[in-house]
Structure 1
Amino acid sequence: MKEIKKILVPLDFSDYSFQALEYAKAIAEKFNAEIILLNVVEPVMFIADLTMGQINIPSIESEMLQRSEEKMKETIDTLKNNFKVNGIVKLGKPDKEIIDLANSQRVDLIVIGTHGHSKVEHLLFGSTAEKVIRRSNCSVLIIKPVSQS
């Protein structure tokens, strides 16, 4: 079995991503692996009208980035006494940023939660997890949603 030294956990701070983090913690504990948390804030685009195209709204983005940084710090604070953990917040497309970070950090495993989108949502938007699986150079563990009932 391949040794696992680095585990990447994409977080959107939803229950789904925190369920994936629980799996990553168990694996990290077993292999004494580092956990790398990644939150990706997607650029906010506003369609002004058909002649202007899309307009970027930097003030909303900076506010979203600041909130994500705060949530990331809170999450790291809950883990840092028991795990080697780092957190990164980026602006971009989630699947691209996940793959780029996994490659640059030489991650051994990506543990990612899935939202369980409806078939229509999946057809229209695709799945970040699915895109990561297709493009990843390392193993990917998909954590399906667990009902809270």
Structure 2
Amino acid sequence: MDPLQSDETTFSRILFCTDFSENADFAFSFAVDAASRRPGCRLYLLHVIPESEAQFWKTYIYEVDDVDAKARHDVDERIEVYRSRLPEPIELNVEIRIGKDHQEILTFARDRQIDLIVMGRQGHGALQKALFGNVTEKVVRKADCAVLVVPLSYRERRAIP
């Protein structure tokens, strides 16, 4: 049996996780490529607002007019940039959650029966990983599906002939 035609390598639900960083923006093209090669595939975009940031903003909602609306507008603008990069038949299903990013990603992936998670990766030193952890590392270790981690450094390596 050809391994590429096996059910084990068929992705019908792809989750792209973004924090709207340059790393995530670069990884998005990999998620789109995977989805475009699989007709009928569902592509999800998940942005998790860390709970600590959400609490910070909530303290100002009553003091500053339209802070919540401004934040939502900024997120919507970033999502539209992603939508503009999609080929015609692919739809983007967007979800925004508040909480611990790796937990929200893993819960979403489990609840939606995601087959592939696509994430960008930023280079961090070993000490920073040991002290603060790393969302991507936690997702890779605990996910029940395939995870594609795209380092930003790949873009520079790919550009060199």
1:66 CA displacement: 4.4
Render the CA deviation track for 1:38-70: whole Å, top value 9, x for unaligned.
11111236xxxxxxxxx7541378354442233
Residue 104 (structure 1) shift: 1.1
Partners of 2:143 and 2:56 lie apart in 1 by 29
Shift in Å, 1:15: 1.5
Q: Give unmatched runs, 5+ long, in structure 1.
A: 46-54
Letter in 2 for 1:43: E
Partner of 2:64: none
What whole-Å deviation, never above 9, does each CA across 1:50-95 have from its counterpart, x for those lacking one? xxxxx75413783544422332233224326341211111111110
Note closer, same or farther for the CA distance 1:43–1:80 as it changes in structure 2 (3 Å cut).
farther
Larger fraction in strand: 1
CA shift, 1:140, in A, is 0.8
Structure 1 contact 65–91 (Cα < 8 Å) conserved: no
Identity of aligned residues (%): 26
Name 1:138's counterpart in structure 2: 145
Question: Aligned-pair distance for 1:130?
Answer: 0.9
- Paired residues, what number? 140
Q: Is the 8 A contact 1:69 1:89 kept in 2?
A: no
Aligned equivalents of 1:44 and 1:68: distance in 2?
17
1:42 alignment partner AA = P
* Cα distance, 1:12 vs structure 2: 0.9
Partner of 2:123: 116
Matched, 1:23 2:33: no
Runs of at least 4 residues off by over 6 Å: none
Counterpart residue identity of residue 44, structure 2: I
Q: Does 1:41 align with 2:49?
A: yes
Give me the CA root mean square deviation: 2.3
Which AA in structure 1 matches 2:149? I
Q: TM-score, normalised by structure 2?
A: 0.75
- SS of equivalent to 2:123: coil
**For residue 78 of structure 2, what is the amino acid of its counterpart?**
K
TM value normalised by structure 1:
0.81
